[in-house]
Each structure stands twice: as C-alpha cells, then as structure tokens.
A = this chain, B = another copy of it.
Amino acid sequence: MNIGVIGMGAVGMLVAHQLESNGHHVTCYVRREEQLKQLKQSGISLVDGQTVYPEVLYTKQINTHELLVVCTKQTQLDPVLQLIDTNAHLHGSILFLQNGMGHIQKLEKLKHNSIYVGVCEHGVNKTTDYQIKLNGLGQIKVTGLNSCASDSLYNQVSASKFPITVHEHLIKVLNEKLVVNSVINPLTGLYEIRNGEVLKYSSIEQLAKQLTREASESLQLEVEKMWELVRNICNKTSENKSSMLIDLENGRETEIDYMNGYLADRYQSVPTHLLMTQLIKAKEEVKGVKKWT
C-alpha cells in the first residue's frame, strides 16, 4: 500500500520502519533539512534490527497516499492540519497519532472524510535522527472520527509484530492515556527524574495520586483503577524518560497544553493540573524553550 508518514520522531520512525519492512511503499515527511539528509543517506534503523530505506521528502510537498499517518507532536500539528486542509487532492485515510487531547476538536473541523485517531502503545525511543530503539511491543489502537471510517484499511496494514486494531470506544482509551500522561509527564519534567522515581519518593507519589484523582474524576474514570494503571506504567517504564522530560532537556516546547492544560481548560475541579501547567510553562521559560509559532 502507498503510505505517507508525517513527522520523524520516535513514533513516526517506528511506524515508517514497520510498514516499510512489511512491504508497503512508505514516504517519510520531515521538516528539518538535517534530518532529511540523514534519513536519505542512512535510512531508518532499529537498534538490534534491520535498516529500511523509505522515500524521504519535506512536509511541505505532501503527495497523495492511500493512508497518511500524522505523527508530529501536538505542538507542531497546526501547520500539518493547514497543509491537509488546503490540499484538495488528498483522498486517502488520515490517521493521527498524538499524545494528549485537544486536537480532536481541531480534526473534526477538517473537510476530509476519512479521519482516524489512535494511540501508540509501543515503548520506543529515538536514539539519533535516523535510529530508534524499541523497548516494549504494544499495539496501535485506532478509531474512526467520521462516518466514512472503515476497518478494512487497517486489516491491510496490520502485521503480527505491529498490530493495528480498530476500536469503537477508543475515546475511553484516549482519556486513560491522557490521565497517565498528565500525571507522569509534568512530575518527571519538573523534578528531572525517570518514570520509576515518581513512586520512589513518597511526596512525589502523593502528588501523582492527587493528579490522578483530579483527572479521573473529571473524565469519569475510576480513580482506583487509574491509579493502578499509573503505577503499572511507572514500574514498567521505570528507567525511561518521559516525553516531557526529553522535550525540556532538549529545550523544546512540551505538550503540557494538550495534557494538564487541556484538563484545566475544560474542567473546574483540577486545581493541581492548572498549577502544573503554569509550573511546566515556567520550566520551559527557565530552560530557554523557543516556541513554534
């Protein structure tokens, strides 16, 4: 199948690598000249795995594909949405794989008639601009946002080692992931600690519980079940750095507005999430983060 992947972060590279090595024709879209050169020269390699050589283009010259997977961060999604909106020739399906929430309202405004959103549950790290490391296999869960959505497409791209499954009630999964992200990300970012350390320090664990409770109650999820999920993910990824910590370390804008900021915007009873949003924005400023505009 002819597939385009926009955004060559860890998730984008994983998606492109898996689809290319499963026989699809993949085009990777990037924004930075440096990464364009490196991917053209070195392909995408997997630590302890094979290297694949998909086509690489700049994001601005987007082509027609049967499936387009958008893997950019929330903070870089707006220019991509604009590109999609102004390209009348795009007729394939579009799948959005972003952390957090807030983008779904934006996607509902797209004129395109085959939009999917999904969560990527693989544990994957970017080691260089052209290499990724797979820490744990998961799956990609997908749901259709408008009536024309169908499963048959995803049956074609799904592979045993890289399952893509369609779920009718994915919004609950997205909300659960939102809770987990809005607990682990800001605490690990603020204190510059790894995921497992959230449970190591009793005072940070207490803050994590407080964030879990506020978010779960607002999203009508079971607090105890969600706290169990947060704990599990901290334990399973204990040595990992969260995406927010990595963003802060690299002086990049974080996705705080789509996690804690999204909750604070929509719900009244999340005071800790509201303050966490302010605290991470202050941390961005101290770290000299330049914002994408």
Contact = CB atoms under 8 A, between A and B. Distances in A.
Secondary structure class of chain A's binding surface, majority of residues: helix
Contacts of A283: 191
Contacts of A204: 282, 285-286
A289 to B, nearest CB: 11
A271 B278 CA distance: 14
A203 B272 contact: no
A221 to B, nearest CB: 23
A81 interface: no
B275 A203 contact: no
Q: How large is the interface on A (under 10, 10 to 19, 20 to 34, 35 or more residues)?
A: 20 to 34
A90 interface: no
A202 B285 contact: yes
Contacts of A278: 203, 206-207
A201 B271 contact: no
A170 interface: no
Contact of A201 (B191, B207, B275, B285): B285
Contacts of A271: 271, 275
Contacts of A286: 191, 193, 197, 201, 204
Contacts of A282: 191, 201, 203-204, 207
A279 B207 contact: yes
A281 interface: yes
Nearest to A277: B203
Contacts of A281: 203
Contacts of A190: 190, 279
A283 B283 CA distance: 14
A191 B207 CA distance: 18
Contacts of A202: 285
Nearest to A287: B191
Nearest to A281: B203
A190 B282 CA distance: 11
A271 B281 CA distance: 19
Nearest to A282: B203
Interface string A253-293: 00000000000000000011001001101111110000000
27 contacts: A190-B190, A190-B279, A191-B282, A191-B283, A191-B286, A193-B286, A197-B286, A201-B282, A201-B285, A201-B286, A202-B285, A203-B278, A203-B281, A203-B282, A203-B284, A204-B282, A204-B285, A204-B286, A206-B278, A207-B278, A207-B279, A207-B282, A271-B271, A271-B275, A272-B275, A275-B275, A279-B279
Given A190-B190, A204-B286, 20 more contacts: A190-B279, A191-B282, A191-B286, A197-B286, A201-B282, A201-B286, A203-B278, A203-B281, A203-B282, A203-B284, A204-B285, A206-B278, A207-B278, A207-B279, A207-B282, A271-B271, A271-B275, A272-B275, A275-B275, A279-B279
